[in-house]
């Protein structure tokens, strides 16, 4: 390691007073020099440092000694002094002191910061406050620039940056609200506080792939006497940076704090304004000092601060307050208004001067009857048609409150890194659909609070908020969206409107943001203007948004049991499953998912949260492909029957399927599952060869029936397995990562094992009936066999009288990109090909395709019949899948996107050696996690899979050692999906827990 002259100088100088260890390094600092060895941190204060400032820190640490586990201890010099004066290279005296080094990494360099860590930090701050209570020191009264109470001078300083992009946000932050906050702050009592609990002053560590834990609180150099809430707000200000879920972290921090020290309403109300103030203060200080020597240190937090202020600086304060109050165990604000509405809503004038009680209610839930077919780019004409189905045009139709919907596709509903993985979905108002021009009446006496025109597509058009103050201390608001522009233009703020007075009209399509005419009626406990009210909110923050925007059903005179959305609750689904499904039926992921909808490469849970599917190969042409659905629907409309009748659709499908296969594979049996198909393939082989001796691969999987389990090493050698029967002979997987095979002849090398099994059988006068293998072993670890492996194997098997079965359940139908079938990669034509999983795109369909000769051997007189095998609707699905693959050029896409993924994965692997082997072909990809000695790392694999799931990206894991990341998305996976997948994986690989595996 290269050490600066300064670091060398101070190592020598300090070693005269402390026993310095070998591992000497420089740490970051704003003004002072900081060094550390393996045991201690050494502080060399700036040349003009006030003795008293060091005295404060030394006294403070002495006060805390032993009372707080996370605080470093003071380490005196060899002669027992707390502080040592040492001359620097320029001969200037510097104050030097030392503290014990704590384990862990700075929070700013750690990830992921989860809710548990935030809670822990909150609780640790509260315990620190307990321990500091009663500590007094004259220096605690000094004036410092980082005192939040000095914020008005920061505001003045910020005025120099008149054209900065954050100007508006800063103005809002330094508004009246901040002044109110500061005056509230001055009413609170003070004590010694840390005053700089930023992410450079908190340490944490992840043990054994567990979550991060707090290991230290350092640097008391900014300690002052101030209200305790200042510390919490400062910690919060840095905790919300660099996280995808800032509000959950903030609320958890406050909940942690209040688990030790309760907060009163004033304190809770200060957290958000002080948090924003601190970020603004940090931004302005950094602009002020741009170009200084200390610039780097100050600039480090700037990008995330700017990002946060730009993205969340405008978040509705009433929402943040709701979350903070809930976390602090305080009752929601505006209790009197809530009670008033509950008791008096029935006195409201009907807003359309007619009863809505009997109006039909739309079901626009994620997977509701009335939602649009396309959940990403919704077709609003479809919604209009649905409305007309429910009621004549002049009759009202209602849309539900608190309903998770996928009808909001405009960019301003999306918030995640990927086009669709994070979006607002929960409608937090009630809709009433009536024709454009319908008059709207005031439900209660009111004044106009705001009247605006929000002109963007899918926005509100004319938008009015009325303020109601029906009693002293009772104020609430009602919002009316999608009005005519004239309605908003003719109203003025402060204008009084009487109960029952007409005040607006419903806007037409051209004026209401492009929606079928309706009013979006929302009840709010916030004085924000209408354009600041979200009408659709984040599903993960629903509880707090519901506090701000309660159910308005009673004000409309409708029954909330009819108009409040309630999605199937995952806990209840899970309980039912535990009760009525076998325990051997397993769920994926530590946090299982309830999936209710799919579209192309996306999956949606009950609240419309979106997941990128990089795992499921059954929805080959994409989840819920409209053409497959239409083909099956059409077929079900007329007939879905079996193969005992001549069926044109059956003929068309078998013909089309056989046309894709090389001669002499021209006879097709249809079934409904891969297991069933493999079972039949074995029967064909036995009938044709007269032998049931079967050669199969190690870690192979062919199905869950009695016989397919008996040939599936993955099952019979796994937990609960009973080993191979004597007619099954297992050879190693042709896995060039795990086995040392000669580079130029690997295929023949692995095939030799098959030859030797055959030789052993021959000694016993037995001969193989068949060889069966997944063409590219999948559960065996997404293995790409060496070229010509099967060519050599088939040669041996056929020479001994056996036939060759290719289980193409995972690899067929264009998944491999360049090869429509896996066996093409191997230069062979199998005697039997088995297909399943993707061929019906989720409709149960499987196939066995063989030669006329083998089919003839099977025709022993016994009828072959499978009730659902070859049923009309399944054939319709299969036929449509084949044409979609061609029409959408999905094999080409698999080749291109697969190439992008493999390339990206290989470059990630070069930076992260845990990705020990990256392999694949098209969209059949595996990444083996292992250490430098190829020892499998199943725990790392599990960690990556679950962390990706937390980021809403789905993959699986497999392989005999459970250490292969399994990536095999629907072929609808796009280049953008691949980029998002790679970005998400790279983020997970950079997480703290994985750094010990470097
Ligand atoms: N063969 C292979 C290679 C498979 O991957 C599977 C299913 N994972 C099967 C057969 C069995 O198919 P099914 O589950 O449809 O019975």
Q: What is the reported pTM?
A: 0.95
Tens digits of per-residue pLDDT, 574-600?
Answer: 999 999 999 999 999 999 999 999 999
* Helices within 220-331 (DSSP H only): 229-239, 246-258, 265-289, 295-299, 302-312, 317-327
Quote the percentage of the chain above a pLDDT of 70: 98
Quote the percentage of the chain above a pLDDT of 90: 86
Whether ligand 1 lies within 6 angstroms of the CB of 807 is answered as yes
Residue 417 confidence (pLDDT) above 70: no
Tens digits of per-residue pLDDT, 447-480?
Answer: 999 999 999 888 999 999 999 999 999 999 999 9
d(CA 288, CA 293): 12
604, 597 Cβ separation under 8 angstroms: yes
Instruction: Record the tokens describing residue 152, joined without a space.
Output: 């008005």
Residue 206 confidence (pLDDT) above 50: yes
Residue 337 confidence (pLDDT) above 60: yes
414, 311 Cβ separation under 8 angstroms: no
Task: Note the pLDDT of residue 136.
Answer: 97
Tens digits of per-residue pLDDT, 964-991?
Answer: 999 999 999 999 999 999 999 999 999 9
Tens digits of per-residue pLDDT, 851-884?
Answer: 999 999 999 999 999 999 999 999 999 999 999 9
User: How far, in Å, from the CA of 615 to the mean position of ligand 1?
Assistant: 15
d(CA 313, CA 625): 40
Tens digits of per-residue pLDDT, 215-229?
Answer: 999 999 999 999 999
Nearest to 127 by CA among 205, 231, 226: 231
Which residue's alpha carbon is at the smallest distance from atom 13 of ligand 1?
674
Phi, psi of 975 (to 5 degrees): -60, -35
* Helices within 804-937 (DSSP H only): 822-825, 852-858, 872-887, 890-911
Tens digits of per-residue pLDDT, 378-389?
Answer: 998 999 899 989
Tens digits of per-residue pLDDT, 358-403?
Answer: 999 999 999 999 999 999 999 989 998 999 899 998 999 999 999 9
Tens digits of per-residue pLDDT, 127-152?
Answer: 999 999 999 999 999 988 778 887 77
Tens digits of per-residue pLDDT, 658-676?
Answer: 999 999 999 999 999 999 9
CA dihedral angle for residue 860, residue 861, residue 867, residue 872, rounded to 10 degrees: 90
Using DSSP, state whether 485 is helix, strand or coil: helix
The residue with greater pLDDT, 58 or 179, is 58
739, 750 Cβ separation under 8 angstroms: yes
For the chain, the distance separating the N- and C-terminal CA atoms, rounded to the nearest angstrom, is 18
Whether ligand 1 lies within 6 angstroms of the CB of 702 is answered as yes
Which residue's alpha carbon is at the smallest distance from atom 10 of ligand 1?
702
Lowest model confidence (mean pLDDT) among 175-184, 329-338, 940-949: 175-184
Burial of 656 (0-12, 13-18, 19+ CB in 10 A): middle
Using DSSP, state whether 90 is helix, strand or coil: coil
Banded pLDDT at 26 (limits 50, 70, 90): very high
Whether ligand 1 lies within 6 angstroms of the CB of 778 is answered as yes
Residue 940 confidence (pLDDT) above 60: yes
Task: Note the pLDDT of residue 264.
Answer: 97
Residue 295 confidence (pLDDT) above 60: no
Task: Note the pLDDT of residue 1.
Answer: 43
Residue 833 confidence (pLDDT) above 80: yes
Burial 168-196 (b: 16+ CB within 10 A, else e): ebbebbbeebbeebbebbeebebbbbbbb
User: Which of 620, 706, 809 should be mutated for ligand 1, with most atoms under 8 A from CB?
Assistant: 809
The residue with greater pLDDT, 303 or 329, is 329
- Cα 314 versus chain centre, distance: 24
869, 672 Cβ separation under 8 angstroms: yes
Instruction: Record the tokens describing residue 512, joined without a space.
Output: 């209401």
Task: Note the pLDDT of residue 164.
Answer: 84
* Helices within 187-245 (DSSP H only): 229-239
Q: What is the DSSP letter of 694?
A: E
Residue 97 confidence (pLDDT) above 80: yes
Q: Closest ligand 1 atom, CA of 704?
A: 16
Task: Note the pLDDT of residue 179.
Answer: 79
Residue 423 confidence (pLDDT) above 70: yes
User: Which of 775, 780, 810 should be mutated for ligand 1, with most atoms under 8 A from CB?
Assistant: 810
Tens digits of per-residue pLDDT, 518-534?
Answer: 999 999 999 999 999 99
Residue 341 confidence (pLDDT) above 90: yes
The residue with greater pLDDT, 150 or 74, is 74
Task: Note the pLDDT of residue 177.
Answer: 75
Using DSSP, state whether 511 is helix, strand or coil: helix
Task: Note the pLDDT of residue 301.
Answer: 63
User: How far, in Å, from the CA of 770 to the mean position of ligand 1?
Assistant: 18
Nearest to 308 by CA among 253, 230, 242, 250: 242
| Rg of the chain over all Cα atoms, to the nearest angstrom | 34
Which residue's alpha carbon is at the smallest distance from atom 1 of ligand 1?
702
Residue 114 confidence (pLDDT) above 70: yes
- Cα 27 versus chain centre, distance: 34
Task: Note the pLDDT of residue 925.
Answer: 98
Residue 835 confidence (pLDDT) above 60: yes
């Amino acid at each position: 390691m290269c050490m600066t002259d300064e670091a060398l100088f101070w190592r020598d100088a300090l070693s005269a007073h402390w026993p310095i260890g070998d591992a000497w390094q420089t740490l970051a600092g704003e003004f002072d020099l900081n060094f550390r060895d393996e045991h201690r941190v050494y502080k060399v204060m700036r040349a003009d440092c006030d003795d008293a400032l060091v005295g404060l820190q030394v006294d403070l640490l002495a006060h805390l000694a032993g009372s707080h586990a996370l605080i470093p201890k003071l380490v005196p010099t060899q002669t027992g002094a707390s502080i040592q004066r040492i001359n620097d290279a320029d001969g200037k005296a510097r104050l030097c002191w030392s503290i014990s080094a704590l384990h862990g990494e700075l929070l700013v360099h750690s990830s992921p910061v989860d809710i548990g860590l935030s809670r822990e930090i909150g609780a640790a701050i509260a315990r620190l406050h307990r321990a500091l209570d009663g500590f007094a020191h004259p220096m605690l009264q000094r004036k410092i620039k980082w005192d939040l109470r000095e914020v008005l001078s920061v505001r003045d300083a910020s005025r120099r940056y008149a054209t900065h992009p954050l100007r508006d946000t800063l103005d809002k932050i330094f508004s009246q609200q901040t002044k109110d906050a500061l005056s509230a702050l001055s009413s609170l009592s003070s004590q010694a506080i840390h005053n700089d609990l930023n992410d450079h002053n908190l340490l944490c560590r992840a043990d054994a792939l567990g979550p991060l834990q707090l290991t230290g609180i350092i640097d008391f150099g900014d300690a002052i006497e101030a209200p305790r809430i200042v510390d919490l707000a400062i910690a919060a200000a840095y905790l919300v940076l660099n996280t995808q879920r800032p509000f959950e972290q903030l609320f958890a921090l406050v909940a942690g704090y209040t688990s030790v020290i309760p907060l009163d309403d004033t304190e809770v109300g200060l957290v958000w304004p002080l948090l924003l103030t601190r970020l603004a203060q940090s931004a302005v200080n950094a602009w002020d000092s741009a170009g200084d020597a200390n610039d780097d240190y100050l600039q480090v937090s700037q990008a995330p601060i700017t990002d946060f202020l730009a993205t969340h600086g405008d978040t509705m304060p009433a929402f943040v307050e709701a979350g903070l109050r809930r976390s602090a165990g305080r009752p929601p604000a505006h209790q009197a208004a809530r009670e008033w509405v509950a008791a008096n809503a029935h006195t409201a004038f009907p807003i359309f001067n007619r009863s809505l009680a009997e109006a039909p209610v739309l079901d626009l839930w994620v997977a509701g009857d009335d939602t649009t077919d396309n959940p990403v780019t919704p077709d609003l004409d479809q919604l209009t048609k649905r409305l007309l189905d429910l009621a004549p045009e002049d009759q009202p139709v209602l849309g539900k409150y608190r309903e998770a919907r996928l009808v909001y596709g405009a960019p301003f509903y999306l918030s995640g890194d990927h086009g669709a993985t994070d979006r607002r979905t929960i409608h937090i108002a009630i809709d009433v659909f009536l024709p454009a021009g319908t008059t709207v009446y005031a439900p209660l006496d009111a004044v106009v609070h705001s009247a605006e025109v929000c002109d963007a597509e899918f926005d509100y058009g004319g938008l009015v908020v009325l303020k109601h103050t029906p009693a002293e201390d009772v104020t609430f608001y009602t919002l009316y969206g999608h009005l005519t522009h004239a309605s908003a233009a003719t109203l003025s703020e402060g204008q009084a409107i009487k109960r029952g007075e007409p005040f607006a009209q419903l806007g037409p399509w051209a004026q209401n943001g492009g929606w079928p005419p309706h009013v979006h009626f929302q009840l709010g406990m916030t004085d924000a203007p209408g354009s600041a009210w979200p009408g659709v909110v984040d599903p993960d923050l629903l509880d707090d948004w519901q506090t701000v925007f309660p159910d308005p059903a009673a004000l409309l005179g409708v029954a909330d049991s009819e108009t409040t959305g309630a999605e199937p609750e995952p806990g209840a689904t899970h309980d039912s499953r535990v009760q009525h499904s076998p325990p051997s039926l397993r769920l994926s992921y530590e946090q299982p998912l309830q999936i209710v909808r799919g579209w192309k490469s996306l999956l949606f849970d009950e609240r419309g949260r979106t997941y990128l599917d990089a795992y499921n190969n059954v929805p080959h042409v994409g989840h819920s492909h409209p053409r497959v659905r239409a083909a099956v629907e059409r077929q079900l409309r007329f007939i879905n029957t079996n193969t005992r009748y001549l069926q044109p659709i059956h003929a068309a499908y078998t013909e089309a399927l056989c046309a894709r296969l090389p001669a002499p594979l021209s006879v097709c049996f249809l079934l409904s599952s891969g297991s069933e198909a493999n079972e039949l393939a074995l029967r064909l082989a036995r009938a044709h060869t007269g032998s049931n001796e079967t050669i199969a691969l190690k870690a192979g999987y062919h199905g869950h029936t009695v016989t397919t389990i008996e040939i599936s090493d993955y099952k019979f050698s796994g937990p609960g397995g009973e080993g191979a029967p004597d007619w099954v002979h297992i050879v190693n997987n042709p896995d060039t990562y795990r086995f040392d095979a000669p580079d130029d002849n690997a295929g023949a090398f692995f095939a030799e094992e098959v030859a030797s099994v055959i030789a052993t059988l021959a000694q016993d006068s037995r001969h193989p009936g068949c060889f069966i293998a997944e063409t590219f072993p999948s559960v065996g670890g997404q293995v790409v066999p060496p070229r010509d492996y099967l060519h050599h194997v088939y040669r041996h098997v056929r020479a001994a009288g056996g036939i060759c079965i290719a289980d193409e359940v995972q690899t067929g139908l264009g998944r491999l990109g360049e090869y429509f079938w896996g066996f093409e990669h191997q230069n062979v034509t199998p005697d039997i090909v088995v297909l399943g999983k993707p061929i019906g795109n989720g409709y149960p369909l499987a196939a066995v395709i063989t030669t006329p000769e083998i089919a003839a051997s099977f025709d022993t007189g016994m009828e072959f019949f499978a009730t659902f095998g070859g049923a009309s609707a399944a054939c319709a699905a299969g036929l449509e899948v084949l044409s979609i693959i061609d029409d959408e050029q999905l094999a080409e896409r698999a080749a291109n996107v697969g190439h992008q993924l493999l390339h990206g994965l290989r470059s990630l692997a070069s930076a992260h050696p845990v990705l020990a082997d990256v392999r694949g072909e098209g969209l059949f990809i595996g990444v083996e996690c292992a250490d430098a000695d190829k020892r499998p790392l199943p725990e790392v694999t599990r960690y990556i899979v679950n962390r990706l799931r937390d980021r809403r990206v789905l993959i699986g894991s497999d392989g005999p050692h459970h250490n292969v990341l399994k990536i095999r998305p629907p072929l609808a996976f796009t280049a953008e999906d691949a980029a998002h997948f790679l970005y998400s994986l790279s983020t997970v690989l950079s997480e703290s827990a994985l750094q010990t595996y470097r």
